[in-house]
Structure formats: C-alpha cells, structure tokens
Homo-oligomer: A and B are copies of this chain.
Amino acid sequence: MASLKQFDPASGTRDFLAAEYERRERAFATIRDVFSRYGFQPLQTPAFERLDVLTGKYGDEGDKLVFKILRRGEHEASGEADLALRYDLTVPLTRAVAAYGSQLPSPYKRYAIAPVWRADRPGKGRFREFVQCDLDIVGSSSPLSDAEVVLALYDALTSLGVPEFRFMVNSRHVLLGLLDAYDVPADLGPGVLITLDKLDKLAPEAVVAELVTGRGLPREAAKGLVDDLTAPDADARIRAELKSSATGQEGLAEVDRLLELTGDVIPAERIGFSPNLVRGLDYYTGIIFEVAAPGMPGSIASGGRYDGLIARLGGKDAPACGGSLGIERILPLLADTDADDYAQTDVAVTVMGEDLAADSFRLAAEIRRAGVRTGVYLGASGKFAKQMKWASDQGARFCVIYGNTERDAGVVTLRDMVSGEQTEVPLTEAAAELARRCAPTD
C-alpha cells in the first residue's frame, strides 16, 4: 500500500531541491549583506530551548503552538517534555542578552535569519517550519535606533527587488493619546486596540459595532474613533484631536522624528504616518510600523519599539527596538527567472575508456581548480551518445572529450553544448580556456 504520500515531508514542512534552495539562499545572502553593512552582527542560537525558557512567553494561544520534545531514556514513559523548538527568534535573543551581556557591544545590534517552528494548522503560505529574518537593537532608547532599523529594512527590501512597498508608521503613544481624547477608560484600552486592529479587514460599521457590544464603549466614542481613523484626512484630524493629550503629542513627535531621520534616504511615497496602524501584539511601547506591498495581503515586514519586553521575558531591563522581514511572503514577490534552469555543472568531462578515466579525473581537477563547476561521467555505459545526453541533462555548457586520438595529439576536444561546435585545445590550456568561456559575461 505504498503511496507517494509516505515519502512526503512531515505536514507543514518542505523539502527544498537545488533550484529552490539556491533561490532562497540568494535572498538570505542579500539580506545578510545589507544587515551587516549596517553593523548588525549575527547571533545563532540552538533549534531547541529548555521548555521553561519558552513557556508563558507567547500567551495561551501561542503556547499551544510550541513543539515540545519528549524526555528521553527512563523518563520517556512519563510523557513529559523538557525541551521545545524555538517559536521565534526574540526569546532566544533575550536569553542570549542575559547570558552574554557583558561580552556584547552596547548597543547590541544583532540579526538572525533562521527557521522557527509553530504547530499551526498548515495552509496556503502557512508552514510549521519557516524562516524568520529579524534584526534588533538592544540597549538604546534613542529615536535614532528606530530610524536605523527602518533604514536597514528599507535597504533590504530595495536590494531584494521588492516592487512598490510602503512603510506605514505609527506610535503606540498616538493610539493611547487617541483613547485619552475619547475618554476611553484605561482598562478598556487594550481590548479597544485589538478591535481597532481589524480596520484593515472589517467594514468600519462592523468595527464600531464590536467596540460597542464587545468592548463596552459608548456608541459616540466608538463612532468618533473609527471615523477619525478611516477619514481621508485622518492625519490632520488626528493631529487636531491629539492637541489635548500629552501622550498623543509625544507619539506624534516620535513619528515625525522618524520620518525626518529617514527622509533623506527613503522617498516620501515609500513611507508615511498611518494613524490607523495598530499591530496586534501588546508589547510595543513606542514606534510601530508595517510594510505593505501590492499583490500581497497583510504585511511583508513589521516591527517597532518594545522597551519593557526583555525584562518581561526574564532578562535585565533594557530598551529595545527591532523589525522582521516576512521572507516567506516576500519570496513569491521576487522575479527570479533563473529559478527553473538550475544547472548542476558548467563543464561535463567524458570518460572515453577505462584506461582513460584517471586522465579524465585529472583534467576535471584542473578545470575545478580554475573555479569552474565540473562533473565527470559516472555511468556504467561509456557510449558516446549516452555521455552527450548526460552532459546535456546536467545543463553543462561545454563538454570535454579526451579519447585516444586526443591523448596521442596532446589535446582535448571542447564541445559547445548549445551550438554543437567542437574545437581542439592543447591539453595544458584546457582549464584556462574553459574558465575564460564560462566566466560570467554581465
């Protein structure tokens, strides 16, 4: 009853064959290159952490999505877990900051591009193993740090070639000021923000209704809030509304400062104040942002300032801000025409007889030393036509033929696999000639 299914990877996970693997690695290399040009440094933590490091950090819903690892040996029968796969890259960061604080530069600018695991229900574009690309600055409360994070993400998205993305910027203080201005009781605040976060998915009336019936807000306040946030002139209306709130004024100053600091680098059409941006997570304390791109619902990057989080996660208190590229959502947006024609080798070396095999390996070694990807024919049948088919299947651009005729003449025959043209080259010059022919032309 063997079916193909039995050889599939586990539900929600993926195998990456060469072409797709290379495509992903190229994107990661671009991001790493940008992040390191900004002076962020890599941190690699293990795939799993002790269970107590992870539990209680992601709320009840998040905790359910953590993959737990069974205890081993005599303890396996207990059915208990003692380890768990990392759920994100932020908790491991806070553990590392706590462990190595004194060895780390201050502020500590770190990036990490690595898989995380969540036991989510697998679906279109939703995986149980997926890569996160995070960068964070720990130990600086300066608005310059928020700007540095936004600039690095902007640069990464531009370098990747993501078309027409846009940063939407807000501050938690703007939102808190707005709640102030509408006299929303402090204890209703968090719930109201969660509902307002749905403005990008629900109709305004539906959000008003939920604010009234679900959150207990007076109808007038609910309508006022939603009207302000969805008005075409929301920016101006909210600036006016916030005149009375010190918190609101602080938030506007944060947003304006970020736009000013990044304004010489990021064009105005790529970034702006979005007072209706809320962000679901409640740990943000200042600037928040998301990046939208045409053709992709939701955001392709996001982040903000989270000054209290490190202490909440068990570390020493330190101001922090950061951002994350949603690389699994970004990859489908990238034009990458190379993806399908992955070539295993550039040069294919034939084996024209058992006694010539060692010569073929020596030739291949010389060509490889010249930096060219080279395969030697490894089949059982040495038939010429079969070797040509193999060379062509490999995607080789040139084929090296070295038979008795060539050996006697001290030459090799180079065959252009596209034109079929064959030229003889002195044996000692073959490697250099192939390196020249295979050099990138652009």
Measured in the bound complex, the distance between the Cα atoms of B376 and A137 in whole Å is 12
CB neighbours (8 Å) of A22 from chain B are 42
CB neighbours (8 Å) of A262 from chain B are 358, 361
Measured in the bound complex, the distance between the Cα atoms of B384 and A344 in whole Å is 54
Assuming A68-B70, A72-B67, A361-B262, is B47 touching A117 (CB within 8 A)?
A: yes
Interface string of A114-139 (1 = CB under 8 A from B): 01010100000000010000000100
- Interchain CB contact under 8 A, A374 and B68: no
CB neighbours (8 Å) of A18 from chain B are 41-43
Measured in the bound complex, the distance between the Cα atoms of B69 and A250 in whole Å is 47
- Interchain CB contact under 8 A, B264 and A358: yes
Q: For residue A39, which residue of chain B has the nearest CB?
A: B375
Taking the complex as formed, is A85 at the interface, i.e. its CB lies under 8 A from any CB of chain B? yes
Taking the complex as formed, is A352 at the interface, i.e. its CB lies under 8 A from any CB of chain B? no
Taking the complex as formed, is A21 at the interface, i.e. its CB lies under 8 A from any CB of chain B? yes
- Interchain CB contact under 8 A, B17 and A378: no
The minimal Cβ–Cβ distance linking A39 to chain B, given in whole angstroms, is: 3
CB neighbours (8 Å) of A351 from chain B are 144
CB neighbours (8 Å) of A371 from chain B are 37
Measured in the bound complex, the distance between the Cα atoms of B345 and A10 in whole Å is 41
CB neighbours (8 Å) of A315 from chain B are 7
- Interchain CB contact under 8 A, B359 and A264: yes
Taking the complex as formed, is A142 at the interface, i.e. its CB lies under 8 A from any CB of chain B? yes
Assuming A43-B18, A264-B362, A345-B39, is B69 touching A375 (CB within 8 A)?
A: no
The minimal Cβ–Cβ distance linking A188 to chain B, given in whole angstroms, is: 32
CB neighbours (8 Å) of A104 from chain B are 17
Please pick, from B39, B359, B373, the residue contacting A37 in the complex, using a CB distance under 8 A: B373
Interface string of A375-409 (1 = CB under 8 A from B): 11111100000000000011000000000000000
Taking the complex as formed, is A141 at the interface, i.e. its CB lies under 8 A from any CB of chain B? yes
Taking the complex as formed, is A45 at the interface, i.e. its CB lies under 8 A from any CB of chain B? yes
Please pick, from B17, B148, B361, the residue contacting A265 in the complex, using a CB distance under 8 A: B361
Taking CB atoms and an 8 Å cut-off, the chain A residues in 79-116 that contact chain B are 79-81, 83, 85, 95-96, 98-100, 103-105, 107, 109, 115
Measured in the bound complex, the distance between the Cα atoms of B39 and A372 in whole Å is 10
Assuming A64-B72, A265-B365, is B49 touching A9 (CB within 8 A)?
A: yes
- Interchain CB contact under 8 A, B37 and A16: no
Please pick, from B47, B64, B117, B357, the residue contacting A115 in the complex, using a CB distance under 8 A: B47
CB neighbours (8 Å) of A41 from chain B are 17-18, 342, 344
Q: For residue A347, which residue of chain B has the nearest CB?
A: B39
- Interchain CB contact under 8 A, B72 and A378: no
- Interchain CB contact under 8 A, B129 and A37: no
Measured in the bound complex, the distance between the Cα atoms of B379 and A2 in whole Å is 62
The minimal Cβ–Cβ distance linking A332 to chain B, given in whole angstroms, is: 18
Q: For residue A375, which residue of chain B has the nearest CB?
A: B39
- Interchain CB contact under 8 A, B103 and A144: no
CB neighbours (8 Å) of A144 from chain B are 351, 357, 361, 376-378
Of A78, A262, A357, A358, most buried by chain B (CB within 10 Å of CB) is A358
Assuming A37-B368, A39-B394, is B4 touching A48 (CB within 8 A)?
A: no
The minimal Cβ–Cβ distance linking A262 to chain B, given in whole angstroms, is: 7
Assuming A47-B47, A373-B37, is B148 touching A378 (CB within 8 A)?
A: yes
- Interchain CB contact under 8 A, B345 and A141: no
Taking the complex as formed, is A60 at the interface, i.e. its CB lies under 8 A from any CB of chain B? no
Q: For residue A78, which residue of chain B has the nearest CB?
A: B79
Can you offer 5 A-B residue contacts whose CB atoms are under 8 A?
A: A37-B373, A64-B72, A109-B344, A137-B378, A144-B378
The 3 closest A-B pairs by CB, nearest first: A79-B79, A39-B375, A13-B46
